[in-house]
């Protein structure tokens, strides 16, 4: 497995080639932070704000994981749109202009 992961090379001269990998990392961060937040989940909507404030004060890692999960949603959608737009661009570039 390690040999295979070392054989995968991302060209350094193409900055758009890292969108897919960054998207994969963002999905992993979302799943991991969601799992950690689910450890303290209570299904009562009336206590959401008070429990969150208590967890911010009592659990040292909670603010970092919460912020990573909240910002991760925006990063996930942004990277997925960039990845899709890159695929559209490469498809149009590879096919060329069909009108001329």
Q: What is the pLDDT along the chain (100 residues), one digit of tens a residue?
A: 667 666 665 555 566 667 778 888 899 999 999 999 888 887 888 887 888 888 889 889 889 999 999 999 999 999 888 888 877 777 766 665 555 4
What pLDDT does residue 31 have?
94
What pLDDT does residue 39 have?
87
Residue in 73, 63, 65 with CA at minimum distance from that of residue 32? 65
pTM of the model: 0.66
Task: Tell me the CB-side half-sphere exposure of residue 14, using CA atoms within 13 A.
Answer: 10
What pLDDT does residue 29 have?
92
What pLDDT does residue 67 have?
92
**Contact (CB, 8 A) for 10 and 21:** yes
Distance of CA 87 to the CA centre of its chain: 18
Q: How many residues does the chain have?
A: 100
CA distance 92 to 15: 19
């Amino acid at each position: 497995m390690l040999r295979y992961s070392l054989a995968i090379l991302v060209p350094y001269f193409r900055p758009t080639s890292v969108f897919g990998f960054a998207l994969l990392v963002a999905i992993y961060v979302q799943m991991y932070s969601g799992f950690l937040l689910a450890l303290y989940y209570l299904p009562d909507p009336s206590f959401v704000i008070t429990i969150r404030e208590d967890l911010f004060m009592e659990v040292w890692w909670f603010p970092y994981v919460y912020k990573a999960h909240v910002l991760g949603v925006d990063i996930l959608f942004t990277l997925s749109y960039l990845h899709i737009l890159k695929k559209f661009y490469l498809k149009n570039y590879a096919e060329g202009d069909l009108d001329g």
